[in-house]
Amino acid sequence: MEHQERSAHYEVYEVFIQRDDLSHHVHVGSVVAPSAKLAHQVARENFLRREKAVNIWVVKQEHVHATSYEDQDFFANQMLNKNYREVSGYAENAKKWKTFKQVAITVDDLVNDIKEH
Amino acid sequence: MSDVQLQIFMDRIQQGQKIESTDWMPDDYRKLVIKQIHMHGISEVMGAYPEKEWVPKAPNLRRKLALIAKVQDEIGHGQLLLRVAEDAAKPFGKVRDDMITDLFVNKVKFHNVFHMEAPTWADAGIIGFLVDGGAIITQASLLESSYGPYARVLQRICAEESFHMQHGESVVLSLAEGTAEQREMLQAAVTRWWPSMMFFFGPPEMSSGAQRMMEYKIRTRTNEELRQKFINRYVPRVLSLGMTLPDNQLAYHAETKLWTYTEPDWEKFSYMVQHNSGPKSQARIELRRQAHEDQKWVRDAMIRAGQVIEAMA
Protein backbone atom coordinates (compact mmCIF):
# COMPACT_ATOMS: atom_id res chain seq x y z
CA MET A 1 0.00 0.00 0.00
CA GLU A 2 1.46 3.36 -0.97
CA HIS A 3 2.27 5.90 1.69
CA GLN A 4 -0.55 8.28 2.54
CA GLU A 5 0.33 11.94 2.63
CA ARG A 6 -1.30 13.17 5.80
CA SER A 7 -3.86 15.92 5.24
CA ALA A 8 -3.98 18.97 7.43
CA HIS A 9 -6.58 18.37 10.09
CA TYR A 10 -9.92 20.14 10.32
CA GLU A 11 -10.88 22.03 13.46
CA VAL A 12 -13.39 20.68 15.96
CA TYR A 13 -16.59 22.70 16.38
CA GLU A 14 -19.11 22.01 19.14
CA VAL A 15 -22.67 22.22 17.80
CA PHE A 16 -25.67 23.87 19.50
CA ILE A 17 -29.11 23.61 17.92
CA GLN A 18 -32.14 25.80 18.56
CA ARG A 19 -35.27 23.77 17.80
CA ASP A 20 -37.70 26.70 17.75
CA ASP A 21 -37.80 30.41 18.55
CA LEU A 22 -38.80 29.85 22.17
CA SER A 23 -36.12 27.23 22.90
CA HIS A 24 -32.54 27.80 23.94
CA HIS A 25 -29.72 26.40 21.86
CA VAL A 26 -28.88 22.90 23.10
CA HIS A 27 -25.55 21.14 22.69
CA VAL A 28 -25.94 18.04 20.50
CA GLY A 29 -22.37 16.98 19.70
CA SER A 30 -19.49 18.13 17.54
CA VAL A 31 -18.17 18.08 13.97
CA VAL A 32 -14.87 18.65 12.23
CA ALA A 33 -14.82 21.31 9.52
CA PRO A 34 -12.37 23.64 7.80
CA SER A 35 -14.33 26.80 8.68
CA ALA A 36 -17.28 27.92 10.77
CA LYS A 37 -19.39 28.29 7.63
CA LEU A 38 -18.77 24.70 6.57
CA ALA A 39 -19.25 23.55 10.16
CA HIS A 40 -22.81 24.89 9.87
CA GLN A 41 -23.38 22.70 6.82
CA VAL A 42 -21.78 19.58 8.31
CA ALA A 43 -23.82 20.12 11.50
CA ARG A 44 -27.03 20.39 9.46
CA GLU A 45 -26.19 17.15 7.60
CA ASN A 46 -25.17 15.31 10.80
CA PHE A 47 -27.86 16.46 13.20
CA LEU A 48 -30.82 17.75 11.17
CA ARG A 49 -31.54 15.14 8.52
CA ARG A 50 -35.04 14.80 9.99
CA GLU A 51 -35.66 17.28 12.80
CA LYS A 52 -36.64 20.91 12.37
CA ALA A 53 -34.57 23.78 13.70
CA VAL A 54 -34.36 27.55 13.36
CA ASN A 55 -30.73 28.21 14.26
CA ILE A 56 -27.33 26.54 14.70
CA TRP A 57 -24.35 27.80 16.68
CA VAL A 58 -20.94 26.30 16.07
CA VAL A 59 -18.19 27.12 18.55
CA LYS A 60 -14.57 26.07 18.24
CA GLN A 61 -13.98 23.38 20.85
CA GLU A 62 -10.94 25.26 22.21
CA HIS A 63 -13.24 28.22 23.01
CA VAL A 64 -15.42 26.22 25.39
CA HIS A 65 -14.50 26.77 29.03
CA ALA A 66 -15.91 23.88 31.05
CA THR A 67 -16.02 23.23 34.77
CA SER A 68 -14.35 20.08 36.06
CA TYR A 69 -16.29 16.82 36.38
CA GLU A 70 -13.96 15.87 39.22
CA ASP A 71 -14.81 18.94 41.29
CA GLN A 72 -18.49 18.24 41.95
CA ASP A 73 -18.22 20.35 45.14
CA PHE A 74 -18.56 23.31 42.79
CA PHE A 75 -22.23 22.37 42.43
CA ALA A 76 -22.84 21.76 46.15
CA ASN A 77 -25.97 23.70 47.08
CA GLN A 78 -28.00 21.04 48.86
CA MET A 79 -26.17 21.21 52.21
CA LEU A 80 -29.03 22.98 53.93
CA ASN A 81 -32.71 22.28 53.61
CA LYS A 82 -33.84 24.62 50.86
CA ASN A 83 -37.47 23.67 50.65
CA TYR A 84 -38.36 27.34 51.31
CA ARG A 85 -37.25 27.80 47.66
CA GLU A 86 -39.48 25.03 46.37
CA VAL A 87 -43.20 24.63 45.74
CA SER A 88 -42.98 21.39 47.75
CA GLY A 89 -42.07 23.47 50.81
CA TYR A 90 -45.58 24.99 50.88
CA ALA A 91 -47.73 21.85 50.96
CA GLU A 92 -49.76 23.10 53.94
CA ASN A 93 -51.28 25.91 51.84
CA ALA A 94 -53.72 23.49 50.23
CA LYS A 95 -55.00 22.22 53.59
CA LYS A 96 -55.37 25.79 54.89
CA TRP A 97 -57.26 26.93 51.80
CA LYS A 98 -59.62 24.05 52.42
CA THR A 99 -60.53 25.50 55.83
CA PHE A 100 -61.33 28.77 54.02
CA LYS A 101 -63.47 26.75 51.57
CA GLN A 102 -61.11 27.46 48.64
CA VAL A 103 -58.98 25.06 46.58
CA ALA A 104 -55.25 25.46 46.09
CA ILE A 105 -54.13 26.88 42.77
CA THR A 106 -50.77 26.75 41.00
CA VAL A 107 -48.92 29.05 38.65
CA ASP A 108 -50.17 26.90 35.77
CA ASP A 109 -53.77 27.81 36.63
CA LEU A 110 -52.91 31.51 36.29
CA VAL A 111 -51.00 30.91 33.07
CA ASN A 112 -53.93 28.95 31.65
CA ASP A 113 -56.31 31.82 32.56
CA ILE A 114 -54.26 34.02 30.27
CA LYS A 115 -54.25 31.46 27.45
CA GLU A 116 -58.04 31.27 27.54
CA HIS A 117 -58.38 34.80 26.15
CA MET B 1 -0.67 5.94 37.74
CA SER B 2 -1.03 5.27 41.42
CA ASP B 3 -3.06 2.38 42.82
CA VAL B 4 -5.17 4.89 44.71
CA GLN B 5 -6.04 6.74 41.49
CA LEU B 6 -7.00 3.48 39.81
CA GLN B 7 -9.10 2.44 42.81
CA ILE B 8 -10.99 5.76 42.75
CA PHE B 9 -11.61 5.28 39.03
CA MET B 10 -12.88 1.71 39.48
CA ASP B 11 -15.13 2.89 42.32
CA ARG B 12 -16.63 5.49 39.97
CA ILE B 13 -17.28 2.73 37.41
CA GLN B 14 -18.87 0.50 40.06
CA GLN B 15 -21.14 3.35 41.17
CA GLY B 16 -22.37 3.70 37.59
CA GLN B 17 -20.78 7.12 37.06
CA LYS B 18 -20.05 8.22 33.50
CA ILE B 19 -16.46 8.84 32.39
CA GLU B 20 -15.76 11.89 30.19
CA SER B 21 -12.92 12.32 27.69
CA THR B 22 -11.22 14.94 29.89
CA ASP B 23 -11.42 12.86 33.11
CA TRP B 24 -8.44 10.94 34.40
CA MET B 25 -8.66 7.32 33.21
CA PRO B 26 -6.20 4.42 32.98
CA ASP B 27 -4.53 4.17 29.56
CA ASP B 28 -6.00 0.67 29.29
CA TYR B 29 -9.54 2.08 29.57
CA ARG B 30 -8.83 4.86 27.07
CA LYS B 31 -7.33 2.42 24.54
CA LEU B 32 -10.29 0.03 24.83
CA VAL B 33 -12.77 2.91 24.40
CA ILE B 34 -10.92 4.16 21.31
CA LYS B 35 -10.69 0.65 19.84
CA GLN B 36 -14.41 -0.03 20.39
CA ILE B 37 -15.70 3.30 19.05
CA HIS B 38 -13.21 3.40 16.17
CA MET B 39 -14.30 -0.09 15.08
CA HIS B 40 -17.96 0.84 15.51
CA GLY B 41 -17.54 4.06 13.48
CA ILE B 42 -15.65 2.38 10.64
CA SER B 43 -18.26 -0.41 10.60
CA GLU B 44 -20.99 2.20 10.11
CA VAL B 45 -19.08 3.63 7.15
CA MET B 46 -18.35 0.20 5.63
CA GLY B 47 -21.97 -0.80 6.35
CA ALA B 48 -23.08 1.76 3.80
CA TYR B 49 -21.25 -0.06 0.98
CA PRO B 50 -23.34 -3.26 0.56
CA GLU B 51 -26.50 -1.14 0.56
CA LYS B 52 -25.18 1.60 -1.68
CA GLU B 53 -24.69 -1.08 -4.36
CA TRP B 54 -28.49 -1.33 -4.47
CA VAL B 55 -29.29 2.37 -4.80
CA PRO B 56 -29.09 2.39 -8.62
CA LYS B 57 -31.03 -0.90 -8.81
CA ALA B 58 -33.78 -0.24 -6.27
CA PRO B 59 -37.16 -1.44 -7.60
CA ASN B 60 -38.96 1.91 -7.35
CA LEU B 61 -38.41 5.56 -6.49
CA ARG B 62 -39.65 5.33 -2.89
CA ARG B 63 -37.34 2.40 -2.17
CA LYS B 64 -34.47 4.27 -3.84
CA LEU B 65 -35.05 7.40 -1.74
CA ALA B 66 -35.31 5.35 1.46
CA LEU B 67 -32.11 3.48 0.66
CA ILE B 68 -30.25 6.72 -0.09
CA ALA B 69 -31.49 8.09 3.25
CA LYS B 70 -30.29 4.96 5.03
CA VAL B 71 -26.86 5.09 3.37
CA GLN B 72 -26.59 8.76 4.39
CA ASP B 73 -27.55 7.86 7.97
CA GLU B 74 -24.84 5.18 8.14
CA ILE B 75 -22.16 7.61 6.96
CA GLY B 76 -23.54 10.20 9.39
CA HIS B 77 -23.33 7.69 12.25
CA GLY B 78 -19.75 6.93 11.21
CA GLN B 79 -18.92 10.64 11.43
CA LEU B 80 -20.53 11.04 14.86
CA LEU B 81 -18.72 7.99 16.23
CA LEU B 82 -15.34 8.90 14.75
CA ARG B 83 -15.74 12.37 16.30
CA VAL B 84 -16.27 10.75 19.73
CA ALA B 85 -13.28 8.44 19.12
CA GLU B 86 -11.13 11.44 18.14
CA ASP B 87 -11.90 13.25 21.41
CA ALA B 88 -10.95 10.08 23.31
CA ALA B 89 -7.75 9.77 21.26
CA LYS B 90 -6.72 13.41 21.73
CA PRO B 91 -3.92 12.58 24.24
CA PHE B 92 -2.46 10.23 21.62
CA GLY B 93 -2.63 12.89 18.89
CA LYS B 94 -4.83 10.74 16.68
CA VAL B 95 -7.20 12.63 14.32
CA ARG B 96 -9.90 11.87 11.73
CA ASP B 97 -7.51 11.24 8.86
CA ASP B 98 -5.68 8.57 10.92
CA MET B 99 -8.98 6.94 11.87
CA ILE B 100 -9.94 6.65 8.19
CA THR B 101 -6.56 5.62 6.81
CA ASP B 102 -6.11 2.90 9.49
CA LEU B 103 -8.71 1.00 7.46
CA PHE B 104 -6.45 0.90 4.40
CA VAL B 105 -3.51 -0.61 6.32
CA ASN B 106 -5.63 -3.11 8.26
CA LYS B 107 -5.18 -1.35 11.62
CA VAL B 108 -8.93 -1.24 12.28
CA LYS B 109 -11.44 -4.00 11.66
CA PHE B 110 -15.08 -3.81 10.67
CA HIS B 111 -18.05 -6.09 11.28
CA ASN B 112 -18.04 -9.45 9.51
CA VAL B 113 -21.40 -8.84 7.84
CA PHE B 114 -20.03 -5.98 5.72
CA HIS B 115 -17.41 -8.25 4.13
CA MET B 116 -20.18 -10.29 2.53
CA GLU B 117 -21.89 -10.06 -0.86
CA ALA B 118 -25.38 -8.64 -1.32
CA PRO B 119 -26.23 -10.23 -4.67
CA THR B 120 -30.02 -9.66 -4.75
CA TRP B 121 -32.59 -7.06 -3.72
CA ALA B 122 -33.66 -9.45 -0.96
CA ASP B 123 -30.16 -9.08 0.52
CA ALA B 124 -30.72 -5.32 0.79
CA GLY B 125 -33.91 -6.12 2.72
CA ILE B 126 -32.30 -8.77 4.92
CA ILE B 127 -29.46 -6.40 5.81
CA GLY B 128 -32.05 -3.90 7.11
CA PHE B 129 -34.07 -6.65 8.79
CA LEU B 130 -31.46 -8.91 10.41
CA VAL B 131 -28.18 -6.95 10.36
CA ASP B 132 -29.78 -3.72 11.57
CA GLY B 133 -31.84 -5.74 14.06
CA GLY B 134 -28.64 -7.26 15.45
CA ALA B 135 -26.89 -3.88 15.44
CA ILE B 136 -29.78 -2.28 17.34
CA ILE B 137 -29.63 -5.00 20.02
CA THR B 138 -25.87 -4.40 20.40
CA GLN B 139 -26.22 -0.63 20.39
CA ALA B 140 -29.12 -0.63 22.84
CA SER B 141 -26.92 -2.57 25.28
CA LEU B 142 -24.21 0.08 24.84
CA LEU B 143 -26.58 2.89 25.89
CA GLU B 144 -25.52 1.86 29.44
CA SER B 145 -21.81 2.30 28.62
CA SER B 146 -19.61 3.85 31.30
CA TYR B 147 -18.07 6.13 28.64
CA GLY B 148 -20.43 9.13 28.66
CA PRO B 149 -19.76 10.57 25.17
CA TYR B 150 -20.38 7.12 23.61
CA ALA B 151 -23.62 6.55 25.54
CA ARG B 152 -24.88 10.02 24.53
CA VAL B 153 -24.13 9.72 20.82
CA LEU B 154 -25.78 6.28 20.75
CA GLN B 155 -29.09 7.80 21.81
CA ARG B 156 -29.28 9.68 18.51
CA ILE B 157 -27.99 6.71 16.53
CA CYS B 158 -30.52 4.28 18.05
CA ALA B 159 -33.36 6.71 17.30
CA GLU B 160 -32.37 6.79 13.62
CA GLU B 161 -31.91 3.01 13.51
CA SER B 162 -35.62 2.67 14.19
CA PHE B 163 -36.24 3.90 10.64
CA HIS B 164 -33.69 1.42 9.25
CA MET B 165 -35.47 -1.38 11.05
CA GLN B 166 -38.88 -0.45 9.60
CA HIS B 167 -37.37 0.01 6.15
CA GLY B 168 -35.77 -3.46 6.23
CA GLU B 169 -38.96 -5.08 7.49
CA SER B 170 -40.98 -3.32 4.80
CA VAL B 171 -38.76 -4.71 2.02
CA VAL B 172 -38.81 -8.21 3.53
CA LEU B 173 -42.58 -8.19 4.05
CA SER B 174 -43.20 -7.08 0.45
CA LEU B 175 -41.11 -9.97 -0.85
CA ALA B 176 -42.73 -12.42 1.59
CA GLU B 177 -46.19 -11.59 0.27
CA GLY B 178 -44.95 -11.57 -3.32
CA THR B 179 -44.59 -14.13 -6.10
CA ALA B 180 -43.01 -17.58 -5.72
CA GLU B 181 -39.88 -16.17 -7.33
CA GLN B 182 -39.71 -13.30 -4.82
CA ARG B 183 -40.20 -15.68 -1.89
CA GLU B 184 -37.44 -17.90 -3.25
CA MET B 185 -35.14 -14.89 -3.48
CA LEU B 186 -35.99 -13.98 0.13
CA GLN B 187 -35.35 -17.54 1.32
CA ALA B 188 -31.97 -17.60 -0.41
CA ALA B 189 -30.99 -14.33 1.29
CA VAL B 190 -32.11 -15.60 4.73
CA THR B 191 -30.04 -18.76 4.21
CA ARG B 192 -27.05 -16.72 3.05
CA TRP B 193 -27.05 -14.29 6.00
CA TRP B 194 -27.91 -16.57 8.93
CA PRO B 195 -24.40 -17.94 9.71
CA SER B 196 -22.99 -14.38 9.45
CA MET B 197 -25.60 -13.24 11.97
CA MET B 198 -24.61 -16.01 14.39
CA PHE B 199 -20.99 -14.81 14.13
CA PHE B 200 -21.99 -11.13 14.36
CA PHE B 201 -22.18 -11.10 18.19
CA GLY B 202 -18.82 -12.82 18.65
CA PRO B 203 -17.84 -16.12 20.30
CA PRO B 204 -19.40 -17.19 23.65
CA GLU B 205 -15.86 -17.33 25.07
CA MET B 206 -14.97 -13.63 24.93
CA SER B 207 -11.51 -12.21 24.15
CA SER B 208 -9.46 -10.71 26.99
CA GLY B 209 -10.13 -7.23 25.56
CA ALA B 210 -13.88 -7.85 25.56
CA GLN B 211 -13.69 -9.14 29.14
CA ARG B 212 -11.82 -6.04 30.28
CA MET B 213 -14.48 -3.91 28.55
CA MET B 214 -17.04 -5.70 30.71
CA GLU B 215 -15.00 -5.00 33.88
CA TYR B 216 -14.85 -1.32 32.93
CA LYS B 217 -18.54 -1.40 31.97
CA ILE B 218 -17.64 0.07 28.57
CA ARG B 219 -20.02 -2.70 27.56
CA THR B 220 -22.30 -4.53 29.96
CA ARG B 221 -23.67 -7.56 28.11
CA THR B 222 -21.86 -10.71 26.99
CA ASN B 223 -21.72 -11.85 23.37
CA GLU B 224 -23.92 -14.82 24.20
CA GLU B 225 -26.56 -12.72 25.99
CA LEU B 226 -26.90 -10.50 22.92
CA ARG B 227 -27.02 -13.46 20.52
CA GLN B 228 -29.74 -15.14 22.61
CA LYS B 229 -31.79 -11.94 22.56
CA PHE B 230 -31.40 -11.76 18.78
CA ILE B 231 -32.37 -15.40 18.20
CA ASN B 232 -35.30 -15.14 20.57
CA ARG B 233 -36.68 -12.10 18.79
CA TYR B 234 -35.94 -12.96 15.15
CA VAL B 235 -36.33 -16.73 14.76
CA PRO B 236 -40.12 -16.66 15.28
CA ARG B 237 -40.44 -13.70 12.88
CA VAL B 238 -38.46 -15.38 10.09
CA LEU B 239 -40.39 -18.65 10.53
CA SER B 240 -43.72 -16.83 10.57
CA LEU B 241 -42.97 -15.63 7.02
CA GLY B 242 -42.85 -19.29 5.97
CA MET B 243 -39.08 -19.12 5.60
CA THR B 244 -36.71 -21.76 6.93
CA LEU B 245 -33.41 -21.25 8.74
CA PRO B 246 -30.32 -23.27 7.78
CA ASP B 247 -29.80 -24.70 11.27
CA ASN B 248 -31.33 -27.98 12.49
CA GLN B 249 -30.00 -27.39 16.05
CA LEU B 250 -32.14 -24.28 16.47
CA ALA B 251 -34.47 -24.94 19.40
CA TYR B 252 -35.78 -23.15 22.46
CA HIS B 253 -35.40 -24.85 25.81
CA ALA B 254 -37.99 -23.70 28.32
CA GLU B 255 -36.07 -25.03 31.34
CA THR B 256 -32.94 -22.94 30.61
CA LYS B 257 -34.81 -20.21 28.67
CA LEU B 258 -31.98 -20.47 26.12
CA TRP B 259 -31.75 -21.39 22.47
CA THR B 260 -29.41 -24.02 21.09
CA TYR B 261 -27.93 -23.28 17.69
CA THR B 262 -25.18 -24.50 15.39
CA GLU B 263 -22.04 -22.52 16.05
CA PRO B 264 -20.79 -20.66 13.00
CA ASP B 265 -17.31 -21.42 11.71
CA TRP B 266 -15.57 -19.10 14.20
CA GLU B 267 -12.15 -19.60 12.66
CA LYS B 268 -13.25 -18.91 9.11
CA PHE B 269 -15.09 -15.70 10.01
CA SER B 270 -12.35 -14.49 12.41
CA TYR B 271 -9.71 -15.02 9.75
CA MET B 272 -11.84 -13.09 7.25
CA VAL B 273 -12.27 -10.10 9.61
CA GLN B 274 -8.59 -10.13 10.68
CA HIS B 275 -7.26 -10.32 7.13
CA ASN B 276 -10.03 -8.56 5.20
CA SER B 277 -10.30 -11.67 3.06
CA GLY B 278 -14.09 -11.86 2.68
CA PRO B 279 -15.75 -11.95 -0.76
CA LYS B 280 -16.19 -8.13 -0.85
CA SER B 281 -13.60 -6.92 1.73
CA GLN B 282 -10.93 -5.72 -0.66
CA ALA B 283 -13.29 -4.25 -3.27
CA ARG B 284 -15.14 -2.15 -0.67
CA ILE B 285 -11.93 -1.01 1.09
CA GLU B 286 -10.59 -0.01 -2.32
CA LEU B 287 -13.72 2.09 -3.03
CA ARG B 288 -13.31 3.77 0.36
CA ARG B 289 -9.61 4.44 -0.32
CA GLN B 290 -10.39 5.92 -3.74
CA ALA B 291 -13.04 8.19 -2.25
CA HIS B 292 -10.63 9.34 0.47
CA GLU B 293 -7.74 10.00 -1.90
CA ASP B 294 -9.72 11.47 -4.79
CA GLN B 295 -11.28 14.00 -2.42
CA LYS B 296 -8.03 14.99 -0.72
CA TRP B 297 -7.70 18.06 -2.93
CA VAL B 298 -11.17 19.19 -1.84
CA ARG B 299 -10.29 18.84 1.86
CA ASP B 300 -7.01 20.70 1.33
CA ALA B 301 -8.70 23.47 -0.68
CA MET B 302 -11.32 23.83 2.05
CA ILE B 303 -8.64 24.32 4.67
CA ARG B 304 -6.90 26.97 2.57
CA ALA B 305 -10.20 28.73 1.90
CA GLY B 306 -10.98 28.63 5.62
CA GLN B 307 -7.63 30.22 6.41
CA VAL B 308 -8.18 32.97 3.83
CA ILE B 309 -11.63 33.75 5.25
CA GLU B 310 -10.23 33.93 8.77
CA ALA B 311 -7.37 36.16 7.68
CA MET B 312 -9.84 38.57 6.05
CA ALA B 313 -12.09 38.65 9.13
A101: in domain:
yes
A111: in domain:
yes
Is the CB of residue A66 less than 8 Å away from at least one CB of chain B?
yes
For chain A, the domain total comes to 2
Mean pLDDT computed over B259-265: 96
Model pLDDT for residues B124-163, shown as the tens digit of each residue? 999 999 999 999 999 999 999 999 999 999 999 999 999 9
A1: in domain:
no
User: What pTM value is reported for the model?
Assistant: 0.90
Q: Report domain extents, chain B.
A: 3-312
Which of chain B's residues have a Cβ under 8 Å away from the Cβ of A10?
A: 96, 299, 302-303
pLDDT at A2 over 60: no
Question: A47 and A17 share a domain?
Answer: yes
Cα distance from B201 to chain A (closest Cα, Å)?
28
pLDDT band at A6 (very low <50, low <70, confident <90, very high): low
Question: A46 and A82 share a domain?
Answer: no
Which of chain B's residues have a Cβ under 8 Å away from the Cβ of A5?
A: 296
Mean pLDDT of chain B: 95
Of A84-98, B45-59, B181-195, B280-294, least confident by mean pLDDT is: A84-98
A3: in domain:
no
Question: A43 and A80 share a domain?
Answer: no
pLDDT at B120 over 90: yes
Q: Do B306 and A8 touch (CB under 8 A)?
A: no
Question: A41 and A80 share a domain?
Answer: no
Cα distance from B156 to chain A (closest Cα, Å)?
9
Fold of B3-312: Ferritin (1.20.1260)
Question: A56 and A91 share a domain?
Answer: no
Q: For position A116, what pLDDT does the model report?
A: 84
Q: Do A10 and B96 touch (CB under 8 A)?
A: yes
A5: in domain:
no
State the complex-level ipTM: 0.84
Question: A22 and A44 share a domain?
Answer: yes
Mean pLDDT computed over B257-265: 96
Mean pLDDT computed over B98-115: 96
A2: in domain:
no
Q: For position A77, what pLDDT does the model report?
A: 83
Mean pLDDT computed over B266-288: 96
pLDDT band at A3 (very low <50, low <70, confident <90, very high): very low
- How many C-beta atoms lie closer than 10 Å to residue B293's C-beta? 14
CA angle at A29 for the pair A41 and B33, rounded to the nearest 5°? 125
A22: in domain:
yes
Mean pLDDT computed over A94-115: 92
Give the C-alpha distances (Å, rounded to integers) separating B194 from A6, A78, B123, B173, B246: 40, 55, 11, 18, 7
A4: in domain:
no
Mean pLDDT computed over B270-291: 96
Burial class (CB in 10 A: 0-12, 13-18, 19+), A18: middle
Give the C-alpha distances (Å, rounded to integers) separating B63 from B170, B274, B283: 10, 34, 25
Question: A47 and A86 share a domain?
Answer: no
Mean pLDDT computed over B224-241: 97
Q: For position B63, what pLDDT does the model report?
A: 97
The parent domain of residue A76 ranges over: 72-115
Q: For position A1, what pLDDT does the model report?
A: 37
Model pLDDT for residues A11-42, shown as the tens digit of each residue? 999 999 999 999 999 999 999 999 998 999 99
